[in-house]
């Protein structure tokens, strides 16, 4: 197994599948059947059948991420075009109704729907997630604690969801309002060590609050399966160049915090 490399990145994007009229269209099963032979595990289902998620492999730099994202966008666009469909990118759809969407047949999604009802059914939102590798567990928690400071800035730079069900909400990111209805979201608490973080997760598991760490949906988290810090705060950008810029900024934030730490310095924290 190849050892994880410091500051490598991975990028996940969530796209809308829309028809010629611009409405969301449930098409994920057909799209995956056509896309998987070309993209493999880079393309996935999401909760709504009108959403498709893509994710890069581990990238040494943002140039590699850009190449992969451009390829995936192009492949999906080419596969959807003969069906009269296309992908669109924004944090929310401007006018499609959440209660008209079909939820993907999946045991995990079914359990979430039973538990949270309309909170889950109305989750018609689209985000950008950026993973930054920090192999050492203790350093990962230190960087996570300090990186929380930058979450409002990253959200402000990415906002692309002022519209919701045909209305101008007056907010730049209505996606963040919808997402806040979910439990275990928002800015994470400060942790003094990786052990404290692990104990927190295990407490939630033992009390039946969650099945595993994947059900902690903070805007920034130590990923439960990968040696990464996952930034989850951003709206889905409308352009590829914006995604690349946000990924580069996220990587740079982590690099700066690591550089400060190597000089026995730190950055301000939220309490």
The predicted-structure confidence for 28-74, as pLDDT tens digits, reads as follows 999 999 999 999 999 999 999 999 999 999 999 999 999 999 999 99
Domains and CATH numbers, the chain: 9-262 (3.30.590.20)
* Mean pLDDT value across residues 139-159: 97
Show the tokens assigned to 158: 């990415």
Helix (H) or strand (E) holding 116: helix 107-116
% helix, strand, coil for the chain, step of 5? 45, 20, 35
* Mean pLDDT value across residues 111-126: 94
Show the tokens assigned to 259: 């550089």
- Percent of all residues in the chain with a pLDDT value above 90, rounded to a whole number: 93
The answer to whether the Cα torsion of 99, 231, 11, 164 is positive or negative is positive
Show the tokens assigned to 240: 């590829």
Confidence of residue 202 (pLDDT cuts 50, 70, 90): very high
pTM value > 0.85: yes
Place of tokens 């951003």: 234
Summarize pLDDT for 240-271 with one digit per residue, the tens: 999 999 999 999 999 999 999 999 998 988 76
| Cα(270)–Cα(143) distance, integer angstroms | 13
Confidence of residue 4 (pLDDT cuts 50, 70, 90): confident
- Percent of all residues in the chain with a pLDDT value above 70, rounded to a whole number: 99
Place of tokens 């609050």: 209
- pLDDT reading at 175 higher than 70: yes
Of the candidates 149, 147, 218, the one whose C-alpha atom is nearest the C-alpha of residue 186 is 218
Task: Please check whether residue 11 is in contact with residue 72, taking contact to mean a CB–CB distance below 8 angstroms.
Answer: no
Summarize pLDDT for 75-103 with one digit per residue, the tens: 999 999 999 999 999 999 999 999 999 99
What's the pLDDT at 1? Answer: 55
Of the candidates 239, 268, 10, the one whose C-alpha atom is nearest the C-alpha of residue 131 is 10
Confidence of residue 120 (pLDDT cuts 50, 70, 90): very high
Task: Please check whether residue 129 is in contact with residue 231, taking contact to mean a CB–CB distance below 8 angstroms.
Answer: yes
3-state secondary structure of 188: coil
Summarize pLDDT for 104-118 with one digit per residue, the tens: 988 889 989 999 999
The separation between CA 221 and the C-alpha centre of its own chain, rounded to angstroms, equals: 11
* Mean pLDDT value across residues 16-23: 98
What's the pLDDT at 91? Answer: 98
| Cα(200)–Cα(213) distance, integer angstroms | 10
Average per-residue pLDDT for the chain: 96
The 10 Å Cβ neighbour count of residue 200 is: 15
**At residue 3, what are phi and psi to the nearest 5 degrees?**
-65, 140
Confidence of residue 236 (pLDDT cuts 50, 70, 90): very high
Confidence of residue 228 (pLDDT cuts 50, 70, 90): very high
């Amino acid at each position: 197994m190849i050892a994880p490399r410091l500051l490598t990145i991975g990028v996940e994007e969530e796209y809308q599948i829309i028809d010629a009229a611009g409405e969301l269209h449930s098409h994920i099963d057909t799209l995956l059947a056509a896309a998987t032979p070309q993209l493999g595990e880079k393309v996935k289902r999401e909760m709504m059948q009108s959403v498709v998620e893509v994710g890069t492999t581990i990238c040494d730099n943002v140039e590699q991420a850009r190449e992969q994202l451009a390829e995936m966008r192009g492949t999906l666009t080419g596969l959807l075009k003969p069906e009269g469909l296309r992908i669109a990118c924004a944090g929310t759809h401007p006018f499609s109704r959440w209660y008209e969407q079909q939820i993907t047949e999946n045991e995990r999604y079914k359990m979430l729907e039973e538990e949270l009802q309309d909170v889950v059914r109305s989750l018609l939102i689209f985000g950008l997630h950026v993973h930054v590798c920090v192999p050492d567990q203790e350093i990962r928690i230190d960087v996570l604690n300090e990186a929380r400071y930058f979450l409002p800035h990253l959200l402000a730079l990415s906002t692309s969801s002022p519209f919701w069900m045909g209305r101008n909400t007056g907010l730049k990111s209505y996606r963040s309002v919808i997402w806040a209805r979910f439990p275990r979201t928002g800015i994470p608490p400060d942790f003094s060590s990786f052990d404290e973080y692990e104990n927190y997760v295990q407490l939630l598991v033992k009390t039946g609050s969650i099945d595993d760490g994947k059900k902690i949906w903070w805007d920034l988290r130590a990923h439960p399966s990968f040696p990464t810090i996952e930034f989850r705060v951003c709206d889905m950008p409308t352009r590829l160049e914006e995604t690349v810029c946000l990924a580069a900024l996220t990587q740079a934030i982590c690099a700066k915090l690591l550089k400060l730490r190597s000089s026995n310095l730190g950055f301000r924290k939220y309490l």
